[in-house]
Structure 1
Amino acid sequence: MKKIGFLSFGHWSSDRGAATRSAQDTLLQSIDLAVAAEELGADGAYFRVHHFAQQLASPFPLLAAAGARTKTIELGTAVIDMRYEKPFYMAEDAGAADLISQGRLQLGISRGSPEQVIDGWKHFGYRPAEGETDADMARRHAEVFLGLLEGRGFAQPNPRPMFPNPPGLLRLEPHAPGLRDRIWWGAGSNATAKWAAQMGMHLQSSTLKDDENGKPFHVQQAEQIRYYREAWKEAGHEGTPRVSVSRSIFALTDDRDRMYFGRGGKEADQIGFINDTRSIFGRGYAGEPGQLVKELARDEAIAEADTLLLTVPNTLGVEYNAHVIENILKHVAPELGWR
């Protein structure tokens, strides 16, 4: 059994065929797609965060709005770039959004991906400390954020406050109980997956990672998941950690599907370089449902994960993306024993 959700990059474009022509289109349609996915029985609605791009960037208003419109579906990110985040303000925003959704947030955070601009986090007022890299700064921000979510008091109260204070040191408000246990780390390497386990975060592994041994992507990703789980066990954490993987999977069931995705072209892993690091990009899947069942059954990382996020082409509109999700839930997942 697996939880199955969607992951949207939240693009908008002036292209004639795009259903999302503006940021407003993308935001409102993202909420509508979360509602539609919940009605179909999907388990999660997740959104990417990219700055300086025509894509979703500020997740908490969107998550809060989707939380107010839905009742059961998990609402999450994959991922928030912690180089850009002020942990204190983020803890308040995350707490409010989680309370609105009644405890359904699943926040994926990370160092982030390659940017649209050079050192974009500098424009947000952040600088690595002496001897730090920007990745170190992201992890430092993450550690502060995790500490704040614990809800412990740390601030000395004013002896003459505007409003009466409870006794003791004060914490940030609103506090969302349980949110600390629903934070995920997007890991691009085995080392960062192990660090996430040590910190008590769940693991998100996307469609790319460092090429650490030349094996096929799904094999390397499955190894990463096993390293993560072993590190979680060694750290002595209680509970069972969750692991998600992302995939582009399109079941071809009608003429629209075949027009959009029937021509193939992404059936093999790709090798590239990100920040001078050799990286491997996982293949996509598109085919008739029976063909997909056979191919997906051989994906070792999907087998290891408890959560599968389907990347969706959000610019094709809510109705078509709901159809894409329904195809997987109806024609593929049951045959693989996922549902």
Structure 2
Amino acid sequence: MKKIGFLSFGHWSNHPSYKTRTAADTLLQSIDLAVAAEQIGLDGAYFRVHHFAAQLASPFPLLSAIGAKTSKIEIGTGVIDMRYENPMYMVEDAGAADLVSGGRLQLGISRGSPEQVIEGWRHFGYEPLPGETDADMGRRKALEFLNKLDGEGFAEPNPYPMFPNPPGLLRLEPHAEGLRERIWWGAASNATAVWAAENAMNLQSSTLKFDESGKPFHIQQAEQIRLYKEAWKKAGHQREPRVSVSRSIFALVTDLDRAYFGQAKGADSFGYIEPNKRAVFGKSYAAEPDQLIKELAGDEAIREADTLLLTIPNTLGVDYNVHVLSMILQHVAPALGWR
């Protein structure tokens, strides 16, 4: 059975057509949307993380607030750029957010995407070790984060502490049992998808990936997912992995839907997101429900994934986004294998 969630980029701007004019608008509406999404039966509420931009950046206060106001919906990120993170402090933040939610955190992490500023992670006080690239640094920090999430003690206790210590080496607190199995890696290439499988992370594949064959986006993404699953099986992990893909999908039901998305681009595009890094961007799907079902049936990657994340136009406000998601659940989702 496929799960369906939303993915918000969390934009705001003082624009007359936006419902999110300020950061406060975006944060508070994100909470309201997650609550409403749970009420209509959606499975997940996920948020992008971007620094130095008028978009959501610090995920854990938001995730904790949503966790406190909901009871069933999965709450996640897609993705946190590990180049900017202190893995130790992140273990504490993530553990707290997961406990507040009752174990519903689904945390997407990655080495990061193109930035708003040049080497922004340096402003946060981080730089690669000698011989490392910034991508290497992101993956190294990810592994340190995963290691500490296991909850094994590693720090020598002070013989004269302020409060009594338990016996043995100390771990970071609060510890969230099971969170290690709910970490996802955002992979833009086949190689990093395999690396994620080898390190027992679930896979998040976005609306773009590096172009590695010139084939249509959904075929390249499906091949990436199959390579990931093969690597997972080869690694001998004891649990089943999860895989999500993101899509821009709009059921054109009302005149307002047609005005907003009736001219959405229905073809893949190719371009460069980094120097010498050619990428393929997946097309948007916007059509009447019956036609939408036919088009989505041909998407190989959606068939390979167990979770579908719907990118939403958060600037159009909570009510319209609830409508967008409701129309997908009502008219399209059952044909995709949703419960």
Coarse TM-score class (shorter-chain normalised): over 0.9
Distance 1:209 1:256 in 2: 31
Q: Which amino acid aligns with 2:267?
A: A
Distance 1:206 1:115 in 2: 16
| Structure 1 equivalent of residue 211 of structure 2 | 211
Matches within 5 A, 1:134-153: 134-153=134-153
For 2:171, what is the secondary structure of its paired residue? coil
| Structure 2 equivalent of residue 306 of structure 1 | 306
Distance 2:39 2:255 in 1: 24
Matches within 5 A, 1:163-312: 163-264=163-264, 266-275=265-274, 276-312=276-312
Distance 1:42 1:319 in 2: 15
Large movers: runs of 4+ above 3 Å? none
Distance 1:290 1:181 in 2: 37
Distance 1:150 1:251 in 2: 42
The offset of 1:15, in angstroms, is: 0.9
The offset of 1:336, in angstroms, is: 3.3
Length, aligned pairs only: 338
For 1:76, what is the secondary structure of its paired residue? strand
| Structure 2 equivalent of residue 94 of structure 1 | 94
Contact 2:250/2:286, CA 8 A, preserved across alignment: yes
For 1:158, what is the secondary structure of its paired residue? coil
Contact 2:2/2:336, CA 8 A, preserved across alignment: no
Distance 1:305 1:335 in 2: 14
For 1:6, what is the secondary structure of its paired residue? strand
| Structure 2 equivalent of residue 69 of structure 1 | 69
The offset of 1:166, in angstroms, is: 0.1
For 2:77, what is the secondary structure of its paired residue? strand
For 1:20, what is the secondary structure of its paired residue? coil
Residue segments in structure 2 that go unaligned for 5+ positions in a row: none
| Structure 1 equivalent of residue 107 of structure 2 | 107
Structure-1-length-normalised TM-score: 0.99
Distance 1:6 1:243 in 2: 15
Q: Which amino acid aligns with 2:272?
A: F
For 1:108, what is the secondary structure of its paired residue? strand
1:276-319 Cα deviation digits (max 9, x unpaired)? 21110000000100010000000000000000000000000000
Distance 1:130 1:157 in 2: 31
Distance 2:227 2:337 in 1: 25
The offset of 1:256, in angstroms, is: 1.2
Q: Which amino acid aligns with 2:223?
A: E
For 1:219, what is the secondary structure of its paired residue? helix
| Structure 1 equivalent of residue 43 of structure 2 | 43
The offset of 1:249, in angstroms, is: 0.2
| Structure 1 equivalent of residue 10 of structure 2 | 10
The offset of 1:112, in angstroms, is: 1.0
Distance 2:315 2:300 in 1: 30
For 2:79, what is the secondary structure of its paired residue? strand
Distance 2:146 2:188 in 1: 20
Q: CA RMSD in A?
A: 0.6
Contact 2:35/2:66, CA 8 A, preserved across alignment: yes
For 1:50, what is the secondary structure of its paired residue? coil
The offset of 1:338, in angstroms, is: 2.6
Distance 1:39 1:4 in 2: 14
For 2:329, what is the secondary structure of its paired residue? helix
Distance 2:28 2:223 in 1: 38
Q: Which amino acid aligns with 2:3?
A: K
| Structure 2 equivalent of residue 30 of structure 1 | 30
The offset of 1:239, in angstroms, is: 1.0
Distance 2:4 2:192 in 1: 24
The offset of 1:335, in angstroms, is: 2.8
| Structure 1 equivalent of residue 83 of structure 2 | 83
Distance 2:325 2:93 in 1: 29
Structure-2-length-normalised TM-score: 0.99
Distance 2:85 2:256 in 1: 40
